[in-house]
Structure 1
Amino acid sequence: MLPNRMNLTRSTEEQLKKLKQYTGIAPNVSSRIAFFRSIESGFTYSPAESIETETKLDGSLVLDKVTWMGETQLVSEQLLKLKYPTLEGRSLMSAWAAHVEDGIASVRNHKTTLNFCDQL
């Protein structure tokens, strides 16, 4: 399962914060939307073969998984376990972060909440 404390890459975190400035939607809520959009799109995370090439989760927003995922926690964890049965702990967190990064690309440029909701 996922670790209790989780973070994202700095660039993804910045995109979530910009989206919050424009729409007022909190980063944890928009990360949930981004995660599920990525899953729906068929994106697949490729774990790094070595530590040197692994994506660095260097964001400063470190939240517990309950805050990041809210009521979608059980579903999110089960989707990750079904899609990546061999991953555990930090590797599974990297997969989650990669999905959020992939999914935020489709929603990051919205300037209003109405525009954001229209695209969902």
Structure 2
Amino acid sequence: MDDKIDSCPTQAETFNGVEDTDGCPDVATLQDSDKDGIINSADVCPRSPETYNGFEDTDGCPDNSPVIDSDSDLIIDTLDQCPTQAETVNGFQDSDGCPDVVPIKDSD
């Protein structure tokens, strides 16, 4: 670099992506391009901010919480009235997520 435009003529430019045209040595700052609080070097998705929703909050990527069905009855816990007991699929209240027995109708 010509000393006439070099801000630091006695020192070498570091060419590290931080003010590489000033002619001065510098230290790269801790950049956080998406401003999610996770620096780019540790951020898997440096251009998309983390959602901080309790699911993989340290990877730096936006995400949705996983769908959880604790009792594996195909009714997700957020909609399941009995999330730790599997639904009895028997044609009677099959969407509540609770085990049940079809009531016997009195034929009298």
Q: TM-score if structure 1 supplies the norm length? A: 0.20
Q: Which has the higher contact order (CA 8 A, sep 6+)?
A: 1
Structure 2 length as normaliser, TM-score? 0.21
Larger Rg: 2
Structure with bigger helix share is 1
